[in-house]
Amino acid sequence: MGWVKSVISKSDLVLEVLDSREPMLTRSRKIENMVKFRKDLLLVLNKADLVPMEVLKMWKRYFENQGLKTVFVSSREHQGTKILRDSIKELLRKNEGVVGVIGYPKTGKSSVINVLKGHHAASTSSIPMTTGFTKSLQLIKIDSRIYAIDSPGVIPPDGDSFEKALRGSRPEDLEDPVKVAIMLIERIMKFDPDTLSLTYKVQFSTPMDLLEKIALKRGWVYKSDREPNVDQASVQLIRDYHEGKIAYYNIPPGFENDKTRDI
C-alpha cells in the first residue's frame, strides 16, 4: 500500500485500471476516496476486447452516473488508446502534469503504461518536473508536457479469501488451486452454464468433473496413482481466466442480464 500512496502523491491525475469483465470486483473504493479528495481520477476499464461493446457502454454509464469519469480500452488490441489520451489531456489542467497508474493485480496496469508510452518514451534525465522522483519511481514522457510514472501502484486485493487468492497470487503458487478453481467455475456457471463446456469442449456435471476431464484430455495424471491431475488442471483454468480465454463478464447492478447474454 505504501507504493500506491507514493504513486498517488506524485501524480496530478490517477488512472485506476479495472478489469472490464469484473469492474466491481477490481475497484477499490478506499483508494478512490483517497484520490478524489486530492487528485483527479480516471477509471480505465481494461481488457475491453473481452466484453461486448453494449456492456462496456453500460459500465461507462453506471460509473459516470456516480461522477466517475470512465473510459474503456484494450491495451492488448490497442483499442481506445486515443480516447484514453484525450481524456488524460482533458483532465490535466493546461495539458501538463504527471499521470499515475494504480489497480489490482492482473488488471493490466503495466500494459496501460506501455500503451501510453507509445513512441514518446524518454529517460528520466531528459525530463523536467522530476524533483522528488527516485530511481525506483521514474517518469516517462507520453506527450509534449505530460509524463507517466513508469511503474504502477499495485493495490492489495480486498474481499474474501477467494478474491485475494484469485488476484493476489500466480496460479502455480496457490496453496490450494483446486479450491480456487472450483469457486471460479461456480461463479462462471452462474453467468453462463455453457461457456466452460464450449471453452474446453467437454460435457461435465460438477466443477470437479470438469477439472478431471480437462486433466484427462491433456494427459495430466498423478504419477502415484494415475488419477487425473486436478491440481494442474486447476492452475490451467485459472490461468485461462486471467488470460481472457474463457468468455465471461458481469454487467452493472440494476441492468437486466438476459438482454445482454447473446450480444
115, 116, 118, 123: CA torsion to nearest 10: -130
For residue 256, the model assigns a pLDDT of 65
Evaluated on CA atoms 227, 231, 236, 237, the torsion sign reads positive
Percent of the chain exceeding pLDDT 70 equals: 90
For residue 58, is pLDDT > 70? yes
Tell me which CATH code domain 161-259 carries. Answer: 1.10.1580
Ramachandran region of residue 67, left (φ > 0), alpha (ψ -120 to 50) or beta? Answer: left
For residue 153, the model assigns a pLDDT of 86
Mean pLDDT of 19-24: 96
Mean pLDDT of 67-93: 93
> Out of 130-134, 155-159, 223-227, which region has the weakest mean confidence (pLDDT)?
130-134
Residues 175-195: pLDDT tens digits?
A: 999 999 999 999 999 989 999
Beta-bridge partner residues of 97: 146
Tell me which CATH code domain 2-154 carries. Answer: 3.40.50.300
Contact criterion met (CB below 8 Å) for 112 and 73:
yes
For the chain, the domains span 2-154, 161-259
Confidence of residue 260 (pLDDT cuts 50, 70, 90): very low
Q: How far apart are CA 99 and CA 96, in angstroms?
A: 10
For residue 259, is pLDDT > 60? no
